[in-house]
Amino acid sequence: MLHISPLFAQHILGLEAAASNDLLGQLIDHITDDSLAYYHDWKNDELVLWDNFRTIHSAEGVPQGESREMHRTTISATYELGRYLGPQAA
C-alpha cells in the first residue's frame, strides 16, 4: 500500500533528485487520475464513510446558495491498526 500526499511529498529516500522527482511525479499522476476517482451522486439522507488515512478526498458539486452539512468523527487508534500486513495476515 502506498501512502503519499501530493501536497507534502518532498523526495524518495535513496534516490537522486531527478529520479526521485520523476517517480514522485508518476505516482502523483496515478493517484490523482480522474478516471480512478469515485464521485458520489448525493441523494437526501445519505451517508458516506471513507478512510481518511488512505483516501484523497474533497467536496465538489455543492451549488452556490445551498448548504452542506458535514459531521466528522474520529476513531482513536494507533498507527499500527491501519498498517497493511500483506497476504500472510489473511
The position carrying cell 452556490 is 64
What's the pLDDT at 19? 96
Asked if 20 and 31 count as a contact pair (C-beta separation under 8 A), the reply is no
pLDDT at 18: 96
Q: Per the confidence metrics, is the pTM higher than 0.75?
A: no
Domain range list for the chain: 1-79
Tens-digit pLDDT string for the chain (90 aa)? 677 778 888 888 899 999 999 999 999 999 889 898 888 888 888 888 877 767 776 666 677 888 877 787 777 766 665 555 556 544
Tell me the DSSP string of the chain: -----TTT----TTS-HHHHHHHHHHHHHHHT-GGG-------TT------TTT---------TT-------------GGGG----GGG-
